[in-house]
Structure 1
């Protein structure tokens, strides 16, 4: 049995949760239905405890087949929600951040469970290394032979906290799979409303990493995907370990505070997190200030923040200036800017001779990027708020739908305006700021790292752009700067979103946050190798696309990435790479490359 609670009067895009058991309670009939659903999951937990790893692998394989069967419907529905025409190149985003992300995660989790079931560590065969500060590093991308070709030139490694030794890392990898009979109750997943793979990925992590059965509460913004999710995740529903509910904040609030729920995971905003944890209004704020949550159970979260792009000054060609400007604009405009990992603040050197030329290319890229709707509820108001806070901001785009804010030195003098609002407000809309700091080389990089750590809200992801010659010149100082930058994922010449897409990479905020100071959240998800207690993920990519990468001394065969907002063949590439993920084979790879090289 599955339960669909009516959405009631909550509008799409309304808060996905309520604040307390007493606030905006569901009707008596809805409460009875939700109570029955949780009783079913209590029985499902007993079934999950008795499900051995081999059967869990078979279950994941069945989900994989169901997702493959639903991929077309999934992308079609997501595109309609986001107001994209069927022939728009932007539908490629829906392929890659929807069914493709889930299919690759299912494959990677199944590999991990097979290894544990055979008595091996998921990290067997991986060559662990050393990172600054006595950290163990774990290569997580490429992880398969197919990865090495499909993402040629890109890599990712996980850094563990200092003093965690290699033997411990290997021994503890596996998390809940090491003792599948030890279940941990019913988990509530409060689904995100922007990227369509997030909620299913969070469900998988609860089930596999934590041995928790799940009730998934959908965000109303993605409510039209409910039938797709039900069909795609049908094997989990039929096994009794997943239930899906729709509805507004009253449903989420009732479930979050229900005694039958042992744990809450939310992907969303810090404001919504605080409403769940402390309650709404003045009373909720007072509880947060006092450090006395209303929620009486553990809570994990992924909450976004203000993500920086640190541009290390160097000698760039005209092609480099244009390409990296498009790169940054992609990081802001992907999904119309409605991403928790969208880059919001570009940090450049005021002493860089090419600063003005680069900012000119950035303006051009922002202006010329293809138009698309700012579809997420409240986007227009957030743009207006940003414009009001920064009167000197520049409207860009054919319809003036994007905002560029040159903060100068951020102290409110000269061409700049006070940086504090942009540094502490996640706009979740097409707003891009530029902050200039003095210095070159390691001096600039260290100052930019200090600024990001000190002034920007959130610790989810940071990006660094640096040309190969400058990177070589920085030497060890660059790795030391990475170690000092306190973010959960750091991308060097790439976008941190690749860390989100890489199934084997942990995804979450830098560790150490608490419920009363959650910043970008608590805990990690994805993490298909089930690494215990990771500190951060470092993603690396080529500074230039192929063939310029080869001419510049980088052995990277990757063309302009298909996730660039200027990639003309993004839809075809997204469709083909998803078909490859449905049934990976070398024979399907040429078609993927043929599409990608038409970007």
Structure 2
């Protein structure tokens, strides 16, 4: 069937699934070099529609023409899709040459008998573009480097075996999520996908049709609009072999268990209503652990904007948005930092929440927390550690803070325990620490990271950076079940096709250039273009996407020029 703007009828959905079944057989027979070529064609298709993609996503979020906020849509939309399709093409090309997708990547021993695979920087240009940043994918304890190399590739190099047909229930907040989920299903499992868009992104259907045209043409992907009724029809369809959802835990549990009395009965009987496997990415309450140190006034301002960005990006409608700031009650600069955080909320551009239900969630947060402050349309509140801010992903511009006793490693251990044991979900955790404080803790800092049970950890870098890195893994910390799904089951992205990854750790500089160099850090990275107050975000985001479409040193310089004026 052709992709159209209208919600499909049941017969049209039935036909789409039959087409995808035939497409799965064609993909199974396709030689590995030809699969690489398909993803090179997807790369070209995304590049060709990049501007339309970014502008259409901006309109879906009520971003005015010419706004710096458009930079978010370039960086989290076509840029990520370009990086992802290129990464999968490289993985296929490596396997076609008889190599592992991780060949050439440095590995080291990480705490707890783990192997860490460095996925950023990968090339000299990445070293310049992300100067001062690094990222590693950690494997579980006991996995050796040799095992990592041997098992990387998953089912991507398997020819002759069909992975069947999957249903991808797309998220409605970040425009690259649904395409990337379909990519991973096809590459990692040889599974074709019917992608049902969230209604918030109904207007993007035509863009996706163009961007995914090489996959649609061979029957590997179909994209449709539709409401909950369409989703319900598809999750119960006999021709769907597997479901993947990016969304809320409530939606996941409705699909798996049903509602009300039915759900209670099925849980008690361990009898899910969903008859096929399901993987998921479901968000949660992400901590921002601020390790006490001796900070300058500029440090306080910069990191306050950093923390505010973790909450305010995309108007707060991110599954990876920071929600709980964990501070030391014994930090002499705690009150100064909170004052800077309030000022950041006040000075950063006001933005109306656009995601459905936001106003209700904001009202609920204020009503549930005595003393909650409303600042420029954003909410800042103090958590007792036993209130809804610990359990409820507000998905809106609501930021909580909690204080715990201690300093140094003692505080960090307490903060890790609080995050692990009290906060809902395990998708991502952020740690802000100045170089001197980290050095003083020595091995205790790395051990604390290993104890932090989250799928992505950002050290002086918002965990969303990990989302944007094609070589990083993305998903909840392993161990969730259908009965207690938390932030979800399984991973996506994973451009090097690691088998059974545990987490990704992204590390960035504590200070922006030139203060970074003055403070002893080897980083030339300016104020990050994803910061909520970055004045050149739109230009930088567009040029970054143009660079990703045709990497060259001259285009890299063109990215850096506006970035240094942020």
If the TM-score is normalised by the length of the shorter chain, which range does it land in? over 0.9
Once the two structures are superposed, residues 188-243 of structure 1 have per-residue CA deviations (whole angstroms, 9 ceiling, x without a partner) of: 10000000000000010001111101110111110000000001111100111111
CA RMSD of the aligned region, Å? 1.1
How far apart are residue 420 of structure 1 and its match?
Answer: 2.3
**1:57 and 2:24 matched:** no
1 CA distance for matches of 2:3 and 2:343?
49
2 CA distance for matches of 1:538 and 1:361?
27
How far apart are residue 57 of structure 1 and its match?
Answer: 1.3
Deviates more, 1:342-351 or 1:583-592: 583-592
2:287 maps to 308
Q: For residues 135-534 of structure 1, what are the structure 2 equivalents within 5 Å? A: 135-397=114-376, 401-407=377-383, 410=384, 419-534=386-501
1 CA distance for matches of 2:63 and 2:561?
24
Three-state SS of the structure 2 residue aligned to 1:175 is coil
**1:2 and 2:2 matched:** yes
How far apart are residue 253 of structure 1 and its match?
Answer: 1.1
How far apart are residue 144 of structure 1 and its match?
Answer: 2.0
* Kept after mapping to 1: 8 A contact 2:92/2:157: no
Q: For residues 6-45 of structure 1, what are the structure 2 equivalents within 5 Å? A: 6-7=6-7, 30-45=9-24
* Kept after mapping to 2: 8 A contact 1:5/1:247: no
Once the two structures are superposed, residues 309-364 of structure 1 have per-residue CA deviations (whole angstroms, 9 ceiling, x without a partner) of: 00000000000000000000000000000000000000000000001111100111
Once the two structures are superposed, residues 365-423 of structure 1 have per-residue CA deviations (whole angstroms, 9 ceiling, x without a partner) of: 011110112000100000000011013100001xxx1100023xx2xxxxxxx642100
How far apart are residue 178 of structure 1 and its match?
Answer: 2.7
Three-state SS of the structure 2 residue aligned to 1:244 is strand
Provide closer, same or farther for how the CA distance between residues 554 and 289 of structure 1 changes in structure 2, counting only shifts above 3 A.
farther
1 CA distance for matches of 2:6 and 2:236?
19
* Kept after mapping to 2: 8 A contact 1:2/1:244: no
1 CA distance for matches of 2:453 and 2:342?
29
Once the two structures are superposed, residues 518-566 of structure 1 have per-residue CA deviations (whole angstroms, 9 ceiling, x without a partner) of: 1000000000000000001111000000100001111001000000000
2:521 maps to 554
* Kept after mapping to 2: 8 A contact 1:122/1:173: yes
Provide closer, same or farther for how the CA distance between residues 593 and 3 of structure 1 changes in structure 2, counting only shifts above 3 A.
closer
2 CA distance for matches of 1:343 and 1:239?
40
1 CA distance for matches of 2:410 and 2:267?
38
1 CA distance for matches of 2:539 and 2:4?
34
How far apart are residue 177 of structure 1 and its match?
Answer: 1.6
Three-state SS of the structure 2 residue aligned to 1:458 is coil
- Where does structure 2 lack aligned partners over 5 or more consecutive residues? none
2 CA distance for matches of 1:317 and 1:297?
55
- Where does structure 1 lack aligned partners over 5 or more consecutive residues? 8-28, 411-417
Three-state SS of the structure 1 residue aligned to 2:9 is helix
How far apart are residue 289 of structure 1 and its match?
Answer: 4.8
1:68 maps to 47
Segments ≥4 residues shifted beyond 4 Å: none
2:555 maps to 588
Three-state SS of the structure 2 residue aligned to 1:177 is coil
How far apart are residue 158 of structure 1 and its match?
Answer: 1.1
1:14 maps to none
1 CA distance for matches of 2:160 and 2:190?
8
Provide closer, same or farther for how the CA distance between residues 87 and 289 of structure 1 changes in structure 2, counting only shifts above 3 A.
farther
1 CA distance for matches of 2:270 and 2:529?
45
Provide closer, same or farther for how the CA distance between residues 336 and 52 of structure 1 changes in structure 2, counting only shifts above 3 A.
same
How far apart are residue 4 of structure 1 and its match?
Answer: 4.2
1:11 maps to none
How far apart are residue 68 of structure 1 and its match?
Answer: 1.0
1 CA distance for matches of 2:2 and 2:122?
36
User: Size of the alignment, in residue pairs?
Assistant: 566
Deviates more, 1:284-293 or 1:354-363: 284-293
